[in-house]
Amino acid sequence: MAVISRGFHGRRPDSGRKLPPGQYETFDFPVLSAGPTPRVRREDWEFTITSETGERHAWDWARLTALPTQTPTVDLHCVTKWSKFGTTWEGVSLDLLLADVETAAGFALVFSYGGYTTNLPLEDLLDGKAWIVHTYDGAPLAPEHGGPVRLLVPHLYLWKSAKWVHGIQLTEEDDPGFWESAGYHDYGDPWREQRYRGD
């Protein structure tokens, strides 16, 4: 069952910015999770990218935060129909993390602490479209929003931006993740209202 934060106040008047179909704007940042919030200490956190051949690339907190960062400002669109405009993050581009990974894979299966998974085409993690982020609005990313580190893929519904991320497995086949196996759309484009399987 999903958990919604007490600070969520629902719909607010529309600011006039462009919303995907079926969405409404919120000024809150609702917290929705499929289970309890993992509490991962930075000194215990690790992120890995594993190619389809088993080649493994790993970063601990010190290695990740030593890399050049970017500060994307993006709009978020949740499958539960809220959108939040102009969110600002800091993190490392997946382009940088994947630069030395030799792969012919077409897909990625993302893993989180707590057991959550989600799948994406690999091309949706490249060309400036995705980041591993550790800062939100100038402060360390809070656990309820996925801290210490989450995936950010803002052009897709927010369930694809896995919280508490710790790994990506590159695959030749498209293996469904947690919500995709439960009936959510395999891709999740908010502009095409791809909420559920068959949309």
Inside any domain, residue 22:
no
What total of structural domains would you count in the chain? 1
Write out the chain's pLDDT in tens, 199 residues. 344 444 444 444 445 578 999 999 999 888 877 778 899 999 999 999 999 999 999 999 999 999 999 999 999 999 999 999 999 999 999 999 999 999 999 999 999 999 999 999 999 999 999 999 999 999 999 999 999 999 999 999 999 999 999 999 999 999 999 999 999 999 999 999 999 998 8
The CATH number covering residue 158 comes to 3.90.420.10
Query: What is the pTM assigned to this prediction?
Result: 0.89
- What does the DSSP assignment read for 87-154? EEEEEEEHHHHHTT------EEEEEETTS-EEEEEGGGGSTT--EEEEEETTEEPPGGGTTT-EEE-T
Residue 118's domain comprises 46-192
